[in-house]
Amino acid sequence: MAAATRSLVVALGGYSYSGALIVQTIIIGLAIGVCVGSLARSYGLWVALGFTGLAIGLARPFLITMMTEPLALVAALLALAFFVEALRLRSPAHALLGFSLLCVGLWIRMGSMFTIPIVAAGIPLLFADTVRGRLKLLAGAVAILVGIFGINFVLAEMFASAGSIGGNFAYTICGLARGTDWLECSRTFSAQLSELGAGHARQVLL
């Protein structure tokens, strides 16, 4: 999914590095604007202005890169906008849309993956009062998650190298298992990793 969204940005930029960066900056700016508008409606101008500074400070280091962080940030900002509207309007539909964008963002740039089950469990508790209603919202959140996973799987089967999805996350899992971080595994097993080359074999070792 990350590669697909990156390819879309590059295509919109006319297959030019500088053009893609301009398109990416415009998209991030629009996402910040949408999010700030939702915050201003719900919490007032000063909260919106404070968030604008925070969002620009967060986005700025990534504006000149073609990494996955900027694309995930766009999805996260739009997700936040929908969550704010969901709380303001007491709208489960907005909450589920926000959840779908949150999942997309975390699939583009894997990070706080425990956020997905926490938010999926929180939406039914916040936006439904009956057991039946909560089960329906939970089922909706699970369906969204399965759908996004399915889209990512189809894209991977069509275009990705075998065993390449989430490869760098193997370093993180290795670090967690050893009580350190991803960099320690990269250093400790550098000799074995260099013998294996790139791809699935490295992930199996880690």
Please name which of 13, 119, 47, 34 lies closest in space to residue 78, comparing C-alpha atoms: 34
> What is the tens place of the pLDDT at every residue in 9-52?
999 999 999 999 999 999 999 999 999 999 999 999 999 999 99
| Percentage above 70 pLDDT, the chain | 96
**C-beta of residue 40 within 8 angstroms of C-beta of residue 66:** no
Q: Tokens standing for 171?
A: 């370093």
The yes-or-no verdict on residue 167 having pLDDT over 90 is no
What is the reported pLDDT for 161?
67
What is the reported pLDDT for 30?
97
Would the pTM count as exceeding 0.85? no
Domain residue spans of the chain: 2-160, 167-206
State the amino acid at position 170 in one-letter form.
A
**Number of Cβ atoms within 10 Å of the Cβ of 14:** 11
What is the reported pLDDT for 165?
56
What is the reported pLDDT for 71?
93
What is the reported pLDDT for 166?
57
**C-beta of residue 92 within 8 angstroms of C-beta of residue 123:** yes
C-alpha neighbours within 13 Å on the C-beta side of residue 76: 19
* Angle at CA of residue 125, ends 113 and 84, nearest 5°: 70
**Number of Cβ atoms within 10 Å of the Cβ of 142:** 12
Stated length of the chain: 206
The yes-or-no verdict on residue 181 having pLDDT over 90 is no
> What is the tens place of the pLDDT at every residue in 113-166?
789 999 999 999 999 999 999 999 999 999 999 999 999 889 888 887 665 555
| Percentage above 90 pLDDT, the chain | 66
> What is the tens place of the pLDDT at every residue in 44-54?
999 999 999 99
> CA–CA separation, 73 vs 29, rounded Å?
11
**C-beta of residue 112 within 8 angstroms of C-beta of residue 106:** yes
